[in-house]
Amino acid sequence: MPQSASDPPAAPGIAHAVAPSLHDRGNLHTVATQQLDKAARAMNLDTSVRAILSQPKNELIINFPVRMDSGEQRMFKGYRVQHNNILGPYKGGIRYHEESNLDEMKALAAWMTYKCALYDIPFGGGKGGVKFNPREHSKPELERITRRFTHALGSNIGPEWDIPAPDVGTNSQTMVWMMDTYMNIVGMAEKNSVRRIVTGKSVTAGGSHGREAATGQGVVHCITEWAQDKRFRLDGCSFIVQGFGNVGSNTARILSKLGATLVATGDYKGYIANPEGINPHKLTEHVGKTGSVMGYKHGRAIAREDFFGLECDIFIPAALELEIGLPEAKALRCKLVVEGANGPTFPEAEEVLLSRGIDVLPDILANAGGVIVSYYEWLQNKRSERWDLEEVETRLERRMKRTFAQVRELTIEKKLDWRTASYEVALDRIQKAYLERGIFP
Ligand code: GLU
């Protein structure tokens, strides 16, 4: 993928941790802007609010050195984009991926703003990461990269200012390293009060019960609500998940408990299918051992083109962004697309899906379970509380159903698609805050 226009090239002579691109994903910030414009038109969004939201408040790029196991020193490029904080501290994941770039971070940060606003969580939006392939590094190298990046971010993050979390290529271990590094930067007496500097930590380190599966659980809450509305039976239906990481695997496991059958899946290595059904629990074990769904003995390897043309009831993109373009949108044979990933659908592909009568539950509505439970984790840390799994799950379900109902009403009342209606709920909250507070000075 070409570097984005706003992404400065690497300094000559410095080896950046960049792998060759496999898939041109287009410019994500352009996609986010198109979505914002569509919703702004539908609701007559104030033009000054529209202008503020079209660019992030802060864009930070850091180049930092890390010592590799071989003794060699290597330069890495890190990002943190802070999109908006009118409703609360910046909040959003840290991504480790070789194709990461500034425009991607800008789009992902904006979607965090809208996701939090949609669910009335008192957070704004941010996103960050490091441009490298974590699969190519040992655990000690990953630890040094994470700690050095956190140190370089320094006071640009903070427990009441900007709170990172896991995303693609990072996990609870990454968050524990970040937390520990940050705790060691502040004074001794403050250490424990800054535990909430990151969310998505392990339970041992002060994370929340239910955070690990929260995004997948939230995807399933949305599917359940949609099914109830359409009088569609989930028991006996079929689904496909693209991507079998945290979101894909948890979604598949939880959805299969409701009687739905996983008929195909895939990851960065390839795609597999089995019309008789794939057991997501066994597949998770296989992925745990081998690192990929490929080679799973109860699935037949298929090509990417065939994968998108398979018949199913529900298609769940839970891999990377911009996977559903025009050819995929024309090929899909399903009733519903649910965005487990952030930004998996090109706007023109979404138009095709909608014209074919396929509903699209957008990322900011469908995959918010993660940040919702992140908020619960942050609150528990702040109050020195520990909630049990049942309490977390009950609160998550209630919040997701309430917002889903609000969006559904808008889709009916104003004849909007699900994405535009979700944006409208979110933008309305942000707009009210700006109009009431005004612009300083
Ligand atoms: N990375 C996740 C997302 O895109 C979670 C962010 C968080 O928990 O702050 O929603």
Q: How many domains does the chain have?
A: 2
Do 149 and 61 belong to one domain? Answer: yes
To test the pocket of ligand 1, the residue of 100, 116, 215, 363 to mutate (highest count of ligand atoms within 8 Å of its CB) is 215
User: 363 in ligand 1 pocket by Cβ < 6 Å?
Assistant: no
Do 129 and 231 belong to one domain? Answer: no
CATH code, 139 = 3.40.50.10860
In a domain, 11, yes or no: no
Q: Is 115 helix (H, G, I), strand (E, B) or coil?
A: helix
Do 156 and 253 belong to one domain? Answer: no
Residues 340-368: tens digit of each pLDDT: 999 999 999 999 999 999 999 999 999 99
Ligand 1: which atom is nearest the Cα of residue 95? 1
Ligand 1: which atom is nearest the Cα of residue 115? 10
Do 180 and 259 belong to one domain? Answer: no
Q: Cα(14) to centroid of ligand 1, in Å?
A: 31
In a domain, 391, yes or no: no
Structural domain boundaries enclosing 193? 28-197
User: 199 in ligand 1 pocket by Cβ < 6 Å?
Assistant: yes
Task: Please give the pLDDT value at position 24.
Answer: 58
Ligand 1: which atom is nearest the Cα of residue 373? 8
User: 167 in ligand 1 pocket by Cβ < 6 Å?
Assistant: yes
Strands 238-242 and 314-317: parallel
User: 369 in ligand 1 pocket by Cβ < 6 Å?
Assistant: no
In a domain, 127, yes or no: yes
In a domain, 432, yes or no: no
Residues 416-429: tens digit of each pLDDT: 999 999 999 999 99
Do 181 and 227 belong to one domain? Answer: no
Q: Cα(69) to centroid of ligand 1, in Å?
A: 30
In a domain, 77, yes or no: yes
Do 164 and 44 belong to one domain? Answer: yes
Of 366, 390, 413, the residue that ends a domain is: 366
Ligand 1: which atom is nearest the Cα of residue 164? 9
User: 125 in ligand 1 pocket by Cβ < 6 Å?
Assistant: no
Q: Count other C-beta atoms under 10 Å from residue 88's C-beta.
A: 17
List the chain pLDDT tens, one digit each, 441 residues. Answer: 333 434 433 333 333 333 333 445 679 999 999 999 999 999 999 999 999 999 999 999 999 999 999 999 999 999 999 999 999 999 999 999 999 999 999 999 999 999 999 999 999 999 999 999 999 999 999 999 999 999 999 999 999 999 999 999 999 999 999 999 999 999 999 999 999 999 999 999 999 999 999 999 999 999 999 999 999 999 999 999 999 999 999 999 999 999 999 999 999 999 999 999 999 999 999 999 999 999 999 999 999 999 999 999 999 999 999 999 999 999 999 999 999 999 999 999 999 999 999 999 999 999 999 999 999 999 999 999 999 999 999 999 999 999 999 999 999 999 999 999 999 999 999 999 999 999 899
Q: Cα(166) to centroid of ligand 1, in Å?
A: 6
CATH code, 329 = 3.40.50.720
List the residue whose alpha carbon is closest to atom 8 of ligand 1: 371
Do 104 and 144 belong to one domain? Answer: yes
Ligand 1: which atom is nearest the Cα of residue 108? 4
In a domain, 402, yes or no: no
Task: Please give the pLDDT value at position 26.
Answer: 79
Q: Which residues contact 282 (CB under 8 A, 6 or more apart)?
A: 296, 298
Do 259 and 122 belong to one domain? Answer: no
Residue 374 identity (one-letter amino acid): S
Ligand 1: which atom is nearest the Cα of residue 371? 8
User: 110 in ligand 1 pocket by Cβ < 6 Å?
Assistant: no
User: 93 in ligand 1 pocket by Cβ < 6 Å?
Assistant: yes
Q: Cα(243) to centroid of ligand 1, in Å?
A: 17
Do 40 and 187 belong to one domain? Answer: yes
Q: Is 96 helix (H, G, I), strand (E, B) or coil?
A: strand
User: 371 in ligand 1 pocket by Cβ < 6 Å?
Assistant: yes
- Strands (E) in 85-166, as ranges, are 90-96, 125-130, 162-166
Cα distance between the two ends of the chain: 41
Do 353 and 246 belong to one domain? Answer: yes
Question: For the purposes of burial, counting CB atoms within 10 Å of the CB of 365, is it exposed (0-12), middle (13-18) or buried (19 or more)?
Answer: buried
User: 343 in ligand 1 pocket by Cβ < 6 Å?
Assistant: no
To test the pocket of ligand 1, the residue of 170, 219, 374 to mutate (highest count of ligand atoms within 8 Å of its CB) is 374
Ligand 1: which atom is nearest the Cα of residue 123? 9
Do 73 and 141 belong to one domain? Answer: yes
- Using CA atoms, how far apart are residues 37 and 172, in angstroms rounded to an integer? 35
- Using CA atoms, how far apart are residues 268 and 264, in angstroms rounded to an integer? 14
Q: Is 13 helix (H, G, I), strand (E, B) or coil?
A: coil
List the residue whose alpha carbon is closest to atom 7 of ligand 1: 371
Question: Is there a catalytic annotation at residue 432?
Answer: no
In a domain, 396, yes or no: no
Of 366, 381, 402, the residue that ends a domain is: 366
Residue showing tokens 């041109």:
24
Q: Cα(202) to centroid of ligand 1, in Å?
A: 15
Contact (CB, 8 A) for 173 and 137: no
Q: Cα(123) to centroid of ligand 1, in Å?
A: 12
CA angle 186, 112, 431 (to 5 degrees): 110
Q: Count other C-beta atoms under 10 Å from residue 43's C-beta.
A: 19
List the residue whose alpha carbon is closest to atom 9 of ligand 1: 92
Residue 130's region, left for phi above 0, alpha for psi from -120 to 50, else beta, is beta
Q: Cα(294) to centroid of ligand 1, in Å?
A: 27
User: 342 in ligand 1 pocket by Cβ < 6 Å?
Assistant: yes
Task: Please give the pLDDT value at position 379.
Answer: 98
Contact (CB, 8 A) for 431 and 87: no
Residue 65's region, left for phi above 0, alpha for psi from -120 to 50, else beta, is beta
In a domain, 348, yes or no: yes
Q: Cα(71) to centroid of ligand 1, in Å?
A: 34
Preceding peptide of 56 cis, ω within 30°: no
Q: Cα(164) to centroid of ligand 1, in Å?
A: 8
Q: Out of 115, 127, 131, 201, which one is annotated catalytic?
A: 127
Do 242 and 141 belong to one domain? Answer: no
Q: Count other C-beta atoms under 10 Å from residue 166's C-beta.
A: 26
